[in-house]
Amino acid sequence: TRSASMTALHLLTYISAALLLQLAAGIGLMVWRRHAVARQSAQPGEPEALTASAGAWSGWREFRVTRRDFEDAARTQCSFYLQPVDGGSLAAFKPGQFLTFSLQVDDIAGGAERSLTRCYSLSDQPDSANYRITVKRVSPPPGQPDLPPGVSSNYFHDRVQVGDVLKLKAPSGHFYIDPDATVPAVFIAGGIGKHRCLAC
């Protein structure tokens, strides 16, 4: 009985120690992140777009396509430059955030237009004049030509031209690169890489 009680006491001690270590690690991480943010805010000359989220608007806002450039010889990747129709300022964004678009696309079945909501990452550094996204045309999967191509990517490539107006929401997304130069970054390929999505 005494041996069993000692074993239970040891087990309780180990569990308590593990919980205390987790609590200490959590507090330490929180303090470190607060200090990192404070250092970032104190650095002179830091781009405002990386330290603030000023200028964000609520709901949809109209943007005009002012330029489109193909980024590859095969013309499968096209960048679209967007400026606000109202002439107002642009919301700041952080590297890795995205824009949400409301598109009116043709129904695959050949019916009337339907509304489609899609998100595309901002693909350029902050610019006070415009946003830029880059869209890769998504074809049917190899060996399956009967499947439809990507709806929104083909809509951008085939239908969206300079002068067209699109509705979009302010930059958002919680997954972005920490602008602190002392923090290492790990990059994972996706999107324009080998990712395939029939809805893209």
Query: What does the pLDDT look like over 167-190, one tens digit per residue?
Result: 999 999 988 877 777 878 777 766
Place of tokens 């096209």: 78
Give the Å distances, CA to CA, from 89 to 57, 86, 92. Answer: 10, 9, 9
- Give the pTM: 0.65
The DSSP secondary-structure symbol of 110 reads S
Question: Beta strand 131-136 with 77-84: parallel, antiparallel or unpaired?
Answer: antiparallel
**Position 46 pLDDT exceeds 50:** no
Helix (H, G, I), strand (E, B) or coil at 22: helix
Q: What percent of the chain has pLDDT over 90?
A: 40
37-41, 129-133, 192-196 — most confident range: 129-133
Give the list of residues 6+ apart from residue 150 with CB closer than 8 angstroms, or none. 137, 138, 139, 197, 198, 199, 200
SS3 content of the chain, % helix, strand, coil (to 5): 25, 25, 50
> How confident is the model over 3-31, as a mean pLDDT?
74
Q: State the number of CA atoms in the 13 A half-sphere of 36 facing the CB.
A: 13
Per-residue model confidence (pLDDT) at position 136: 94
Strands (DSSP E) found in the chain: 61-70, 77-84, 98-106, 113-121, 131-136, 165-172
Cα 157 versus chain centre, distance = 20
Per-residue model confidence (pLDDT) at position 39: 60
Helix (H, G, I), strand (E, B) or coil at 87: coil
